[in-house]
């Protein structure tokens, strides 16, 4: 069986129309999305209803949503987190917070960025060839992508514990680390990196003013040894401050 997967940090819905158009065109079987606003019943602006807007636009899909925080902004307080959208039914779901727990009153600032709650979302999908384990990662933030900090050590240990021994694994997301970081090298002892060191950056530099992002490939995909990589690409599209990753696998 072949399936197509896309991962994208949706930039808090700041380019939501462009992102949805891109996702519709890709028509993936599994979407791994980060920085997703959703389930905010009081929100009038579509940006803060990213999950609902995506589901309305993409047609009949199954979903799992894990809020990491309630973002306190001038417009109001809105849930934000990870979302997996799938053409396959979801049999099981789970989530692990790496370092900091769910925050019901998160105020974004340079001081609070390291305390942003980061999540490993896990769903088991019911496919024609059996169960597939899909993991959606929003990794521990650190401006130094190679810093093997205590928090990143905890992150890699949590990932390894979650994927070890499982079959048909696809792990994707915004790691907030470079491929050369020891935290990600540790993960590679258990899963195969889809892009390895091929990508110079996974940031859309049209939306970034810090030149350091031009050499930071923080968005990644990993698969278990029973998942074959057929195609892979990192489209240079203006749909977020990150670039999406797209891959076709055979299982």
SS (H, E, C) 32-90: EEEEEECCCCCCCCHHHHHHHHHHHHHCCCEEEEEEEEEEEECCEEEEEEEEEEECCCE
Q: Please, are residues 243 and 236 in contact by the beta-carbon 8 Å criterion? A: yes
Predicted confidence (pLDDT) at residue 62 exceeds the cutoff of 90: yes
183 by Cβ neighbours in 10 Å (0-12 / 13-18 / 19+) ranks as: buried
- Dihedral (C-alpha) 159, 161, 163, 164: value to the nearest 10 degrees? 140
Provide the mean pLDDT of the chain. Answer: 96
Domain boundaries of the chain, sorted by first residue: 2-250
Predicted confidence (pLDDT) at residue 44 exceeds the cutoff of 80: no
pLDDT digits (tens, 9 = 90+) for 130-147: 999 999 999 999 999 999
pLDDT score recorded for residue 69: 96
Q: Please, are residues 20 and 77 in contact by the beta-carbon 8 Å criterion? A: no
Handedness of CA 114, 117, 122, 123 (dihedral sign): negative
Percentage of the chain exceeding pLDDT 90: 91
Report, as an integer, the average pLDDT of 35-46. Answer: 87
pLDDT score recorded for residue 71: 96
pLDDT digits (tens, 9 = 90+) for 189-221: 999 999 999 999 999 999 999 999 999 999 999
98 by Cβ neighbours in 10 Å (0-12 / 13-18 / 19+) ranks as: buried
pLDDT score recorded for residue 114: 84
Predicted confidence (pLDDT) at residue 73 exceeds the cutoff of 90: yes
Domain 2-250 has what CATH class? alpha beta
Report, as an integer, the average pLDDT of 46-75. Answer: 94
pLDDT score recorded for residue 115: 86
Predicted confidence (pLDDT) at residue 45 exceeds the cutoff of 80: no
């Amino acid at each position: 069986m072949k399936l197509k997967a896309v991962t994208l940090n949706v930039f808090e819905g700041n380019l939501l129309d462009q992102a949805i158009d891109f996702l519709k065109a890709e028509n993936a079987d599994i979407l791994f999305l980060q920085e997703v606003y959703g389930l905010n019943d009081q929100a009038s602006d579509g940006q803060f209803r990213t999950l609902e807007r995506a589901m309305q636009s993409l047609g009949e899909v199954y979903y799992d949503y894990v809020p990491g925080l309630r973002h306190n902004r001038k417009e109001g307080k809105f849930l934000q987190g990870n979302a997996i959208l799938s053409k396959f039914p979801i049999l099981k779901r789970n989530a692990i917070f790496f370092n900091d727990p769910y925050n019901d009153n998160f105020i974004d600032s340079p001081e609070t960025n390291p305390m942003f709650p980061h999540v490993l979302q896990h769903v088991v999908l019911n496919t024609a060839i059996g169960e597939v384990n899909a993991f959606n990662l929003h990794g521990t933030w650190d401006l130094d992508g190679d810093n093997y900090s205590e928090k990143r050590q905890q992150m890699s240990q949590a990932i390894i514990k979650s994927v070890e021994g499982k079959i048909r694994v696809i792990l994707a997301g915004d790691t907030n680390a470079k491929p050369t970081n020891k935290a990600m090298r540790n993960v590679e002892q258990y899963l195969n990196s889809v892009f390895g060191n091929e990508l110079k950056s996974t940031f859309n530099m049209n939306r970034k003013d810090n030149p350091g992002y031009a050499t930071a490939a923080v968005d990644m995909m990993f698969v278990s040894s029973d998942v074959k990589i057929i195609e892979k690409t990192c489209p240079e599209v203006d749909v977020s401050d990150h670039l999406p990753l797209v891959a076709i696998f055979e299982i």
